[in-house]
Structures are given as C-alpha cells and as structure tokens.
Structure 1
C-alpha cells in the first residue's frame, strides 16, 4: 500500500520533476512563467517521497531551484529559460576519460591516472535587458590508482581522488551595448575575459577546490554570476541578477 501511494505521488508530479526522479535528469527550454510549476512541484518532493530509490539529490533544491528563481526574476515573460540537468553522477561510463601512466619514484612502483568530467548543470536565460546569460557547473574528478611498497616490503594498492568544481558564466550583451571595466577587480579566484565581436561577450569562470557543500557552492555560483554584470554601465543593467535566493 505504501509503495502504491508513493508511486501515485510521483505520477502527480510535474513531468520534469517526474523525469528527474525516474531518469535522473532532463533537458528542456520553457518560457519564464512555465518554470514556476516545476519549482512548486520540486518543493513538495520530500513530503511525498520517502523511499531511497526515488529521492532526489539536495543539489536540486539548494542549487538548481535558487538559480531558476534568480534568472527568472530578471527575464521578460516571453523570455526562454533552458536547463540541462544531469544527476546520474560521476560513475556513468561516458563521463570517464582515458587512463594514462604517470611517472613515479620509489616507494611508489606504478601509477595510472584518469579524469571524470561531470557537467551536471547548464542553464541559458534571455534577460529583459536584451542580454543572454549561459551558466555551466562541472565536477572534474582526478583519479589516481597506484602500487606502493611499504618499509616492510609489502606491496599495497591505493586509489585517491581529487575533485575540482568548474563554474562558468557567460553574458552576451544586447545589440549596440558595450562593456565598461568596473572600478574594482574581481576576487583572485574569479577569472574574467571580455571578447569583442558582433556582440560583446563577458565570461567569468572559477575553479573551486571541492567538493563543496551545496549551500557554499550556490553562493560561489552566485558570486561568479555577478561579475559579468559589473561590466555594464550604470542604468543599462537594470535586469542584472542579484543574490536573491528566495
């Protein structure tokens, strides 16, 4: 009976919420106002679902939902918000790169290294000021598996990982708009590049030693997202995302 109630609750979720539960992700583009039902559906997940197999990662409510609200607040009603969400995790085979040998010195006898790239969040929003913002978050995990001889002569195998979270936010300005350098530089952990073309493009990126807790990661994403808007002259960026997460 309990199983049937949980299944019925899932069937009542928004289709994108249901895809996240059953398929661990989705990729879709919707007008701004069509995202609010998705947010409301996700908000009721924990109350409706208790079985482990149907739980969703806290990243959904602590990172995705706040970013949806921040971007939607700065969009016109007809603006399109696109999201590609992949919560399958880093163990999916196609996310793993090739192995390569690493030069070692004793007491390590041999070592192999490979990287896993998990681009779990991508977003694109058309803002009311005519600019377009694209955001991506990728977990990069370095794996090292090695053979080591200890002082007693016994050979042991070790496996270590190191995670870095890559955040990139790109803002393509509207036609005729041009950037102006801000009065203060970005923090040292944020890199900013400006590219001239048909439209000016400002890209802010950061490499974060992780894995960070979801709340801290959200704050870092918001901080990086602020940088491309500091390059817009006052009065031309009324729709720039702030740090609202409500």
Structure 2
C-alpha cells in the first residue's frame, strides 16, 4: 500500500523533477509560468516522496528553488527561462581534466594532480524590462593525491582538495536603456564592468570568486552578484494607483 502511494506521487511529479531525482541533473527551456509548478514540487519534495533512491540533492531546495522564484517575479508568464543544472558534485570523472604527475620529495613516493570544472548552475532569462540575464555558478577543484611510505614501511595515500567557486552574472540591456555608475560602489571582491556595444546596447557583467565550502550561503552570493547589475539602471516604474472617486 505504501509503495503504491509513493509510485502515484512520483508519477504526478513534473518530468524535470523526476529527472533531477534520478539523474541529479537536467537542462531545459520552458515558459516562466511552467517553472512555478516545478519550483513548488521541488520545495515540497521531502513531504511527498520519502523513498531514499528518489531523494533530491540538497542544492535543489536551497539554491535552485529560490533562483527560480526570484527570476519569475521579473518575467512575463510566457517568457522563456532556460536552466541547466548538474548537482552530482564536482569530483566526477567527466568533469575532470587530464591527470598530471607532481615532483615529490621523500618520504613521498609519487604524486598526481587533477583539476575539475563543475558548472552546476547555468541560467538564461528574458526579463520584463527587455533585458536578458545570464547566470553561471561554477566550482573549480584542484585535487592532489600523494603516496607516502611511513617509517614502519606502510604505504599511505593522501588526497587533498582545494575548491573555488565563481559566480558570474551578465545582463544585456535593451537598446537605449540608461546606465549610470551607482553610489556607493560595489565591494572590492565583486568585479563589475559595463561595455557599450556598437549597436547601442550595453552589457553589464559582475563576477565574484571565493571558497566553495559554504553551500548555505550560495543563494546569498547569487543575489548579491545579480543584484549589483540592477543598481546600474533606474528602477522600473510601477503602475500608477488610480485616484479614489469622490
């Protein structure tokens, strides 16, 4: 009976939701309104699906869901929103580069080094104000393996990893949109550039780089980086409130 209920709940999920639970990754472009169903399902996954093999990666609820909800607020329901996410982790074979040897000194016998590149969240959204926002969250990991021989003659293997996270946001403005450098300026750790194109459009870019240990602060970093691009343009005017009839 329990299994039948789980199966029915599983079959009611959005196809991308099921793919993320099974493969821990997906890539799709859908209307912004359709992502609302997926975001709701991901946020309540643990309440409806308890089977271990269908558990979602932690970043699905802590990062992907907030990003989808924030973007939808600035998009028309039918505007396209493209998302590519891979939550398998950085240290997997198909994300690694070539293995190269390291020069070592005794008591080390041998050493090797490998770099992994993990673009685990890529987003492209067409916003209501006519601009296009692109977001990339990439983890880069340097992994070193050292083989040593202890004084007792035992062979030991040591693995050391150094992860770095890069969050990059690009906002391509519609032609003629005003741009002004904000005050106060962005913090020193956040690099921002404004490029004027020949067609009269402006492209704003913001990049932040730091350690990749604090996953609970990823969404805060994403919002800070993308939010900086909106400080360079005037706020969107809200519709005028009709005057009350006397």
Q: Same fold (TM over 0.5)?
A: yes
Using the alignment, how far apart are the partners of 1:153 and 1:138 within structure 2? 41
* Local SS of the residue matching 1:140: strand
Using the alignment, how far apart are the partners of 1:152 and 1:43 within structure 2? 53
Using the alignment, how far apart are the partners of 2:43 and 2:104 within structure 1? 50
Q: Does residue 231 of the first structure (1) align with residue 235 of the second (2)?
A: no
Using the alignment, how far apart are the partners of 1:132 and 1:123 within structure 2? 10
Instruction: Give runs of aligned pairs for residues 145-224 of structure 1, distance below 5 A.
Output: 145-150=145-150, 155-197=155-197, 198=199, 199-214=201-216, 216-224=217-225
Q: Does residue 128 of the first structure (1) align with residue 128 of the second (2)?
A: yes
Using the alignment, how far apart are the partners of 2:221 and 2:56 within structure 1? 22
Q: CA deviation at 1:219?
A: 0.6
How large is the Cα RMSD of the aligned pairs?
A: 2.1
Q: How many pairs does the alignment contain?
A: 236
Q: CA deviation at 1:67?
A: 0.8
Q: CA deviation at 1:138?
A: 1.5
Using the alignment, how far apart are the partners of 2:116 and 2:57 within structure 1? 19
Check conservation: 2:21, 2:57, Cα contact below 8 A: no
Which residues of structure 2 form unaligned runs of 5+?
239-246
Instruction: Give the number of the structure whose alpha-carbon radius of gyration is greater.
Output: 2
TM-score (norm 2): 0.87
Using the alignment, how far apart are the partners of 2:180 and 2:103 within structure 1? 47
Check conservation: 1:129, 1:238, Cα contact below 8 A: no
TM-score (norm 1): 0.87
* Local SS of the residue matching 2:231: helix
Using the alignment, how far apart are the partners of 1:104 and 1:205 within structure 2? 35
Higher RCO structure (Cα 8 Å, ≥6 apart): 1
Which residues of structure 1 form unaligned runs of 5+?
240-246
Partner of 1:27: 27
